[in-house]
């Protein structure tokens, strides 16, 4: 019984903490009224690894992690769309990459373009982007074995991720969710995105149930 109570308290605290890390623009409904298609961009990655690597190798690894998050988000949203839970469509990431490449935009220079510019180039109404700071190569998979001593030694801390949605017409930030990454977050990138979005889904602005609650 005590274990059940402890679990419920822990779950409640995690949910409350997730909501605290969520920002939504007060004018979201007005700015997103005509949104139909969103593009998911590769995430800008910062790696702090305890390995000997050249600057070139580190950039290659950061790019790999950034695309892994993009792919994981596409997988997650595809599942939600199949269940008819979302009010918008998502551009196929292969198409996103192809269109960017045709405009000489890749991972190395995408950050010099504004949200408005990228939305116009991609032909979408808004973009999902973000940053991820990592002390591990999450895409390769990490240990989720937990020990209380890990929290004191810092071994449980894998980094931090921030996901944001920006309006294509105005470039304004519409929604943002930030979360710490640790041993309890997930064993790989797909697992991380799946778990973190499930925590935030009640606050995800394009959820059909959420939109229904607003109208009521």
Greatest Cα pair distance, the chain, in angstroms, is 60
**SS3 for 131?**
strand
Pairing of strands 89-90, 157-167: unpaired
- What is residue 149's predicted lDDT score, i.e. its pLDDT? 43
Q: Per-residue DSSP letters for 72-87?
A: HHHHHHHHHHHTT-BS
**End-to-end alpha-carbon separation of the chain, Å?**
38
Find all residues with CB under 8 Å of 201, minimum gap 6, and list them. Answer: 207
- What is residue 150's predicted lDDT score, i.e. its pLDDT? 43
Task: For residue 128, count other CB atoms closer than 10 A to its CB.
Answer: 21
Integer Cα distance of 4 and 172 in angstroms: 43
- What is residue 7's predicted lDDT score, i.e. its pLDDT? 42
Residue in 107, 96, 57 with CA at minimum distance from that of residue 73: 96
- What is residue 87's predicted lDDT score, i.e. its pLDDT? 94
- What is residue 75's predicted lDDT score, i.e. its pLDDT? 96
Any idea which residue has 């969520």 for tokens? 22
Domain coordinates in residue numbering, the chain: 23-215
- What is residue 186's predicted lDDT score, i.e. its pLDDT? 78
- What is residue 156's predicted lDDT score, i.e. its pLDDT? 56
pTM beyond 0.85: the answer is no
Query: Which tokens belong to 54?
Result: 């050249």
Find all residues with CB under 8 Å of 93, minimum gap 6, and list them. Answer: 40, 70, 71, 74
Integer Cα distance of 33 and 37 in angstroms: 12
* Whether CATH 3.40.50.10610 fits 23-215: yes
Residue in 30, 79, 84 with CA at minimum distance from that of residue 214: 30
Integer Cα distance of 48 and 54 in angstroms: 13
- What is residue 142's predicted lDDT score, i.e. its pLDDT? 54
Mean pLDDT by 10 residues, the chain (216 residues): 43 47 95 97 93 87 96 96 93 98 97 97 98 90 50 63 97 96 83 91 87 54
Integer Cα distance of 127 and 119 in angstroms: 7
């Amino acid at each position: 019984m005590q274990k059940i109570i402890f679990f419920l308290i822990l779950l409640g605290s995690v949910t409350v903490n997730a909501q605290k890390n969520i920002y939504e623009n007060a004018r979201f409904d007005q700015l997103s009224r005509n949104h139909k298609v969103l593009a998911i961009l590769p995430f800008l990655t910062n790696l702090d690894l305890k390995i000997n690597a050249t600057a070139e190798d580190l950039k290659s690894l950061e790019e790999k992690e950034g695309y892994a998050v993009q792919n994981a988000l596409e997988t997650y949203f595809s599942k939600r769309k199949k269940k008819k839970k979302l009010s918008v469509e998502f551009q196929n990431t292969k198409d996103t990459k192809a269109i960017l490449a045709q405009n000489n935009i890749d991972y190395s220079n995408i950050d010099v373009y504004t949200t408005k510019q990228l939305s116009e180039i991609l032909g979408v109404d808004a973009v999902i982007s973000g940053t991820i700071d990592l002390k591990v190569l999450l895409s390769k998979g990490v240990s989720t074995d937990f020990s209380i001593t890990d929290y004191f030694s810092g071994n449980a801390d894998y980094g931090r991720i921030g996901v944001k949605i920006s309006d294509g017409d105005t470039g304004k930030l519409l929604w943002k969710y930030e979360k710490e990454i640790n041993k309890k977050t997930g064993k790989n990138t797909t697992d991380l995105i799946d778990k973190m979005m499930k925590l935030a889904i009640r606050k995800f602005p394009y959820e059909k149930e959420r939109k229904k609650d607003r109208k009521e």
